[in-house]
Amino acid sequence: MEVSTPASEYANPMQSNCPGRHLFELITSRWPLLILWSLKSGTKRFFEIRNEVEGISERVLSEVLKKLCRHGLIDRHVEPSIPPKVSYSLTKSGEGLLAVMEGLTGWIAKELETVERAKARYDARAQA
């Protein structure tokens, strides 16, 4: 009989062998959440995402889109035309992650002034 691993151990990114760590690293890196956020309003083409996510290069956008597709957070749709039209949309998992992100952006909006004051105090002490 196979012993199953409890979900709490399976999804503990503090452990180096945790399969969930790869997903954790992906979604906490610089661009993925911004790309997902850009898809919040619906299906978009590559150039639309590029134009919304200021500062991302086309090469990096292409790489991150592939990773998000591989992890099941977005779907890639190809219309058979010449040239092919490629668009991206959120999967159910991607939508679920955005729900979590909305909580985070709400927290940022609520705490931003406090954080900015803390940074100013810290910087003033560091310069003294």
Domain presence at residue 117: yes
Domain presence at residue 19: no
Q: What does the pLDDT look like over 28-82, one tens digit per residue? A: 999 999 999 999 999 999 999 999 999 999 999 999 999 999 999 999 999 989 8
Domain presence at residue 5: no
| Band of pLDDT at residue 7, cut at 50, 70 and 90 | low
CATH code (residue 109) = 1.10.10.10
What's the total number of domains in the chain?
A: 1
Give the separation between CA 125 and CA 122, rounded to whole angstroms: 5
For residue 77, the enclosing domain spans 31-127
Domain presence at residue 10: no
Instruction: Evaluate if residue 2 carries a pLDDT over 80.
Output: no
| Band of pLDDT at residue 16, cut at 50, 70 and 90 | confident
Q: What does the pLDDT look like over 71-101, one tens digit per residue? A: 999 999 999 898 889 999 999 999 999 999 9
Domain presence at residue 46: yes
Domain presence at residue 59: yes
Give the separation between CA 44 and CA 116, rounded to whole angstroms: 34
Domain presence at residue 8: no
Give the separation between CA 55 and CA 58, rounded to whole angstroms: 10
